[in-house]
Structure 1
Amino acid sequence: MDVRKLVAKELTAWVRKESDLKGFELVKDFVLDHQNFGDSGLMTPTFKLKRNEAKKYYLDKLQAMYSGVSSVNV
């Protein structure tokens, strides 16, 4: 089974069990990245996210998620 599908299934089951969220409030898509922010240069020395750099780094993945290309069907 695909790791993203497994994580999505477990996340959805856990959120529905632990919360009273509506369907539109649930996570629809996400990206699993093997690099942490510190290794990719997306964190400051004080462990704050460099938002502009993070946006540039993940822009193609964000656009794919919003266009529905990378959707995970649970």
Structure 2
Amino acid sequence: MRLWVEDNGIGIASENHNRIFGGFERLHAEETYLGTGIGLAILRRALERMRGQTNVESDLVTGSRFWLELPAPAEF
């Protein structure tokens, strides 16, 4: 099952989709948008440790759709 989070912000160009999940990776100057550039990197690392994954669908017109996915729990 996937959880989706959407916004209608400025969007992310396709060539930068993987960059945003790198630690301390920023696409804009701090004066333009606040943040450290580490939040999505932490999210991806945490999900990978739980055998999950995350990614983004985005363009510069409609904003971004982030998804995160965890495997189904094992039955006991």
> Highest Rg: 1 or 2?
1
Which has the larger share of strand?
2
Higher relative contact order (CA 8 A, sep 6+): 2
TM-score > 0.5 by shorter chain: no
Q: TM-score, normalised by structure 1?
A: 0.31
Q: TM-score, normalised by structure 2?
A: 0.30
